[in-house]
Amino acid sequence: MKLEGSYDVKAPRQKVWGAFLDPETLRKAIPGCEKLELVGNDEYKATLKIGVAAVKGTFEGKVRLLEKKPPESYRLAAEGSGGPGFIRADTLITLTDADGGTRVSYSADVQIGGLIAGVGQRMLGGVSKMMADQFFNKMTELLTTA
């Protein structure tokens, strides 16, 4: 499944870059994130509680930041598994200057398996978009009140 989008954040690019690489800021912004801890160089262990339709569960996994080009882009590789199945995502995140702030664009390749895959592509796409909206709204709020 391919996911793409962009959001404008009313904050300077350097500040947005820093926030997107800060584990505590990310933990607060990622929907359902209970834990995000640094375990190595640009590698994090994550625990998320996620529910899609009647399929709910806790996912444990890891997130790695690769190919960092400050303050322009980086690749985020994530994988997690739990009772409802597994998720693997490879996402390119790009930051560019926009009107009075920063445009954050993402392009993700997502693989889903297990029970959660049985929910259906259309519903998963809608839930993914909703979670992305929640993430960017919270990130904007954190950046503009900090």
pLDDT in tens, 73-126: 999 999 999 988 998 999 999 999 999 899 999 999 989 898 888 877 778 888
Q: CATH code for 2-145?
A: 3.30.530.20
Domain locations in the chain as residue ranges = 2-145
**What per-residue confidence (pLDDT) applies to 108?**
93
pTM, entire model: 0.88
With b for 16 or more beta-carbon neighbours within 10 A and e for fewer, the 97-120 pattern comes to ebeebbbbebebebebeebbbebe
**53-67: pLDDT as tens digits:** 777 889 999 999 999
Is the distance from CB of 93 to CB of 74 less than 8 angstroms?
A: yes
